[in-house]
Each structure stands twice: as structure tokens, then as C-alpha cells.
Amino acid sequence: MLKRNSMRFVAALMAVLASFVAGPNAALDAALQHRDQAPGFYRVKVGDLEVTALFDGTGAFDPHWLNGTKARIDGVGKALHEDPHMLDVADTGFLVNTGKQLILVDAGAGTWWGGGAMGRLAGSLRSAGYTPEEIDIVLVTHLHSDHVGGLTTQDGKRVFPNADVFVAKAESDFWLSPEIAAKAPKDAQPFFQSAQAIAAPYIKAGKWHTFSGSEPIVDGMQLVPLAGHTPGHTGYEFSSKGQEILFWGDIVHALRVQLQHPEVTAIFDIDQTAAAATRQQLLPRLASEDVLIAGPHMNFPALGRLRKEGSGYSWAPMVFTDQWDENR
Ligand SMILES: [Zn+2]
Ligand SMILES: [Zn+2]
């Protein structure tokens, strides 16, 4: 704030000085445009939990990354022509403060995905009043670099040095296997390489843990297997005082396509059939149980609920408010 105020003062002073030299128009030129936004975090209360969405960056989902019938994909192309922002996505991680532990769910892309457009999560965390050193646990939905890139720097340092990282065994075994990587198509190679590089310093430090069933990791949190997108893709559902929040990873990438048409998949879904089936099963439950959803690629703050709409669903996003209502 101090910096911004002093910048304003300098700008005002320059405007005054310029007006002496060049006349009144120069004062207009000196109206500094900030070209930034509010710090990238948003807090919400879920029972006794305080959940903070942490902005990592934005991007646009490429329509060629969607898989569906030709008619459906042609329709997306046409809609995109009329509304160029319909496939805009965010990347988001989430902090759960239980009052005892600080738990990060997904860590954003860091420098491993998005060509420099992402990687703001650690800064968003600091803006929200925490340091990376304070994080106790990281739960990762899967090992795609847009969800785990924020864990590790390019030179192999742990961003969260005190955190224990948890991931499904099926997920860890798949992406960290040199044999599977060797047989994978060329397009998929970067995902294996990044997963291995990102995991390495945590494995070395004894901070990389896998789960294979429903073993307890955190009080009040249930593992929700959501296989299809990746072999061990897992959601994390927290409940507190009758309220629930599901961190659903990559169940939906393109919310304006896949909620109305849950059969549309993404080319990144390793098992296309299972990914569609998982989504078809999950969405009705979430809509009927009124579960709060934390979806990393939904538009920021990436929190919302599902509503039944026609043969599909619509997204009811949480919108910014500073009214601290415990029962939102
Ligand atoms: Zn993914
Ligand atoms: Zn993703």
C-alpha cells in the first residue's frame, strides 16, 4: 500500500511539473494506469473450515482439446466464434485452514505449464497472510503439471519445504514409472518428465506419500476416487458442521460445454470412457446434495455449486462479497 501511495504521489508531482513545462494536456498523460488486480485470493467458510481459493493464473482452453461428436464440436466452434471468451479458464489451488492444520489442495502450475502466464499461487498465498513454510499438508488431485507445478522450482527446490504431499498410489506409480514413460506417446512425454521432476525433491526428503484406499489422512476429509482423467485422479471432500466442499480436480475443464454435455471429454483424459462415466455419476449427486465445489479451472474464485438445467447442469458461481456470512 505504501508503495502504491508513494507511486501516486510521484505521479501527481510529475503531473504538476509537466503542466508547467508543456501545458495542461500533459497532466492527462500522467494519469497512471495500474494494470493490476486485487490480490488473488478469496475466502469462504465451510462449517468450521476456512477455505481460501488461491489464484495461479488464467488461460484459454483450446477447442481442439475437446472430444465429442462432430456436431457437438462444430457447435462449440460456432459458439466460440460468437463469444471468444467461452472457453476461458483459470488455474487455482485451495488452502484449507482447519484451525489445526494448513492444507493445500493442488498447487497451481508454477513454471511448469502455461508459458509464464501462471505461477502466481505462492504470491496469492502470501497475500492471504500465510507463508509457504507454514503449509503442513498438500493433497494433490493428480500429477498433471497445472496442478502440481507450483510444488517445485525449475532448479528442483521444494516450494513447501515442511509439507507432506499426498497422492493416490495409482497416480504416483503411473507418472513416476520410467517404463510407462518410455512407452508413452511423444505428446505425453512432457507430462511424465514434469511429474518426475516435481516429485523428486519431496521423494528425496521423505515427504512424498501415497494412498491406495480410504485411509485417513486428515480428520473430516474423505478421499473420492474419480478415475478416468488420470489413473489415480482423486477428489477430496471435506465436511464440517453439515457443510461440504469437494475439491474435484479436472472433472470439468470447459464448464460451458461439459456441464450441459457431460459426455464431452478432454484429450488429456487418459481413459476417455471412464472420464465421461465418472462425470456422469458425480454431477447428479453434487447437484442434489448442494455440495460446494472447488474446481481449479472454473473462473476465479473457482468456487460454486451445480444446478440441474435441462438435460445437463449449470454452474452457480460464488461471487465476490465482503459480507462474512457463515451460512453461504
Ligand atoms: Zn489434468
Ligand atoms: Zn488441470
Query: Which residues are in the CB-under-5-Å shell of ion ligand 2?
Result: 146, 250
Mean pLDDT of the 83-91 span: 96
Name which of 258, 252, 254, 214 is nearest 236 in CA terms. Answer: 214
Centre of ligand 2 to C-alpha 118, Å, is 12
Phi, psi of 243 (to 5 degrees): -105, 145
pLDDT tens, position by position, 237-295: 999 999 999 999 999 999 999 999 999 999 999 999 999 999 999 999 999 998 999 99
Q: Is 157 exposed, middle or buried (0-12, 13-18, 19+ CB in 10 A)?
A: exposed
Task: Please state, in angstroms and rounded to a whole number, the distance separating the CA atoms of residues 224 and 238.
Answer: 10
* Nearest-ligand number for the alpha carbon of 268: 1
Centre of ligand 1 to C-alpha 6, Å, is 43
Query: Which residues are in the CB-under-5-Å shell of ion ligand 1?
Result: 144, 250
* Nearest-ligand number for the alpha carbon of 233: 1
Centre of ligand 2 to C-alpha 232, Å, is 14
- Domains of the chain, residue spans: 1-36, 40-317
Give the lowest-confidence range in 114-118, 120-124, 149-153, 265-269. Answer: 114-118
Mean pLDDT of the 164-193 span: 96
For the chain, state the CA radius of gyration: 22
* Nearest-ligand number for the alpha carbon of 113: 2
Regarding the domain delimited by 40-317, which CATH topology (the fold level of the hierarchy) does it fall under? Answer: Metallo-beta-lactamase; Chain A (3.60.15)
Centre of ligand 1 to C-alpha 26, Å, is 50
Centre of ligand 1 to C-alpha 250, Å, is 5
Task: Please state, in angstroms and rounded to a whole number, the distance separating the CA atoms of residues 125 and 275.
Answer: 31
Name which of 229, 247, 227, 250 is nearest 237 in CA terms. Answer: 247
At position 267, the amino acid (one-letter code) is I
pLDDT band at 213 (very low <50, low <70, confident <90, very high): confident
62 DSSP 8-state letter: -
Residue 214: what pLDDT? 79
pTM of the model: 0.90
Centre of ligand 1 to C-alpha 123, Å, is 23
pLDDT tens, position by position, 295-305: 999 999 999 99
Mean pLDDT of the 181-195 span: 95
The residue whose grid cell reads 481459493 is 53
Centre of ligand 1 to C-alpha 51, Å, is 22
pLDDT band at 17 (very low <50, low <70, confident <90, very high): very low
Residue 326: what pLDDT? 60
